[in-house]
Amino acid sequence: MFLVYTEKITNRIKFTFNLFLKELLNVDYSLTTNNDEFKAFEGVKFSYAKKPLENELFFGCSNLLFERGISNIDLMFIEHDGQPAFFPVYQKESAMPFDPFAAGFYLVSRYEEYLPYRKDEFGRFSASESLAYQKNFLHKPIVNIWALTIGKKLKEKFPGFSFPVTTLVGTDVSNFLAICRKHSIGISFYPKLIFSFLVAAIFELFNLWERVVLRNKMKNYRMKEPPVFIIGFWRSGTTLLHNLLCSDPRAGYTTTFQAVFPHITITQAWWIKPLANWIVPENRPFDNVSWDMDSPQEEEFGLANLQSNSLYNSYIFPGDYDRFLKEEFFTEDFPPQQLKKWKEKYTSLVHKAMLSTGGNRYISKNPCHLGRLNLMHSMFPDAKYIFIYRNPYQVVESLYWFYQSILPGVKLQKLKPGFSRKDIVDLYCVAIRNYFKTRSVIPPEDLLELKMEDFMKDKMGYLEMIYRKFGMDSFEKAKPCFEKYLSDNSNYFREKYDIPQETFDLVNEYVPDILEEFGYQKRTSGS
């Protein structure tokens, strides 16, 4: 989902941006006039205005799309990339030296035909009277050319916002087909689907080789220390806490490489990992956080590539969002055979992560565990849990934009019609209330509930408390690693979001009990 800032939303703006972005570039977008919302948005965005708001991708605008009625316009022509252009703009920050949206509207709406003109013998507007004929571009799909130029500018600014494949490249062929059989796929996504399948098929022999080579090691592996599970809801500070705990040399964890390629994590890393690091952007395209193939990652992505049931497949099939929440969030409700397979795959994922990273203590970050606490406790009875939580108003708003920001890079469906903040609130209600319902299964000495806002004020203090509470004796040795990570990532977390009235209303209506439980004050507006 793109976010576009403009100073005013008019019917001309709606028509033109739908033409350029939706129809010609095939991307979902949203318009906003709220500059705070735009600045807080962490995904693909640009502004269309008289001047930029900060250092974003900026397209200078003329007045045409903000006007009403028809008037004579003294057009001035320039050349851009070897193509004719008009409605020049003079802001040096503008990505293009003219306003392609105004120029596109002028041509597509046949604006000039509403002005006085010399009629032909049948009283019609003659092609020879047209601007395109007089400037010799009647034979060119000039609006399409401008749209492609805009797309190029977006890719230059956000090189990772679209990938030629999905994360399914790392699964095996049988799981690939099992997942895709459950969902419809838009024709426009067939090239990405086919390319993803071909890559997955090529890796089949490598998958088999790793299974053979690691069979005995995987079978005989035993955990050396109790695992630590970070189970906070999405956008609640889980990534920062996870990355910090994983910087301890004693930590083992699922890497980004393993999450994408769980079948060939160890035997093929020597050549695929450098290639993948070269392909992916240095920063995550949806929130600008630095990453590479060795970075700690949510294991749920890997689980989705090992078996066919995961809420995270909603990133690939966002049109079926409701179905994923209903059928694939509560793992404990899976049929017996399906549940048995899930447990086997999860155990193998953890064991391989430990063999790959060489740690003694497995550190997990997986919000989906909020829907399977009973299952996790039965599998790992001595595990430690950190539930980190954040102000629900900020969480809902942040996840709403995050979810839509990640979709352009991986989806094989269009987002479900009418997707809104209410969908995020529904997920929040289901996940948090299930946590409240099932947290008693965890012994008090194995559970720590942590408010993100407190953690942000004293990270080292709370890290030491975590180590002390869970009897982990390596804090002093890990402390320099924590300090280095914090120094290298001092601007890691964006704490402030401009919350629209809709979010305040939804949270107040549907989760007042959660606000009270977490100790946050009810708010009716951002003031």
Predicted pLDDT at 485: 92
Predicted pLDDT at 187: 86
pLDDT beyond 60 at 93:
yes
Q: Lowest-confidence range among 279-288, 295-304, 513-522?
A: 279-288
Predicted pLDDT at 269: 93
pLDDT digits (tens, 9 = 90+) for 459-505: 999 999 999 999 998 899 999 999 999 988 775 545 455 688 999 99
pLDDT digits (tens, 9 = 90+) for 210-263: 999 999 999 999 999 999 999 999 999 999 999 999 999 999 999 999 999 999
Top pLDDT among 439 and 138 is at 439
**Mean pLDDT, residues 418-422:** 91
Q: Read off the tokens for 2.
A: 């793109």
Predicted pLDDT at 162: 58
pLDDT beyond 50 at 510:
yes
The H or E element that residue 58 is part of is: strand 57-60
Q: Lowest-confidence range among 10-14, 375-379, 415-419, 495-499?
A: 495-499
**Mean pLDDT, residues 315-332:** 95
What does pLDDT average to over the chain?
Answer: 90
Contacts 24+ apart (CB under 8 A), 454-457: 455/237, 455/241, 455/388, 456/237, 456/493, 456/495
3-state helix, strand, coil in the chain (%, to 5): 55, 10, 35
The pLDDT-based confidence of 282 (bands split at 50, 70, 90) is low
pLDDT digits (tens, 9 = 90+) for 65-88: 999 999 988 899 998 888 889 999
Helix and strand numbers (H, E) in the chain are 22, 11
**Mean pLDDT, residues 264-270:** 94
Contact between 206 and 268 (Cβ < 8 Å): yes
Predicted pLDDT at 495: 45
**Mean pLDDT, residues 295-321:** 95
Domains and CATH numbers, the chain: 2-157 (no CATH), 167-518 (3.40.50.300)
Of all residues in the chain, the percent with pLDDT exceeding 90 is 68
- The 8-class DSSP code of residue 112 comes to G
Of all residues in the chain, the percent with pLDDT exceeding 70 is 94
Contacts 24+ apart (CB under 8 A), 136-145: 136/84, 137/83, 137/84, 140/83, 142/83, 142/84, 142/107, 143/19, 143/24, 143/104, 143/107, 143/108, 144/24, 145/83
The H or E element that residue 6 is part of is: strand 2-6
Predicted pLDDT at 164: 66
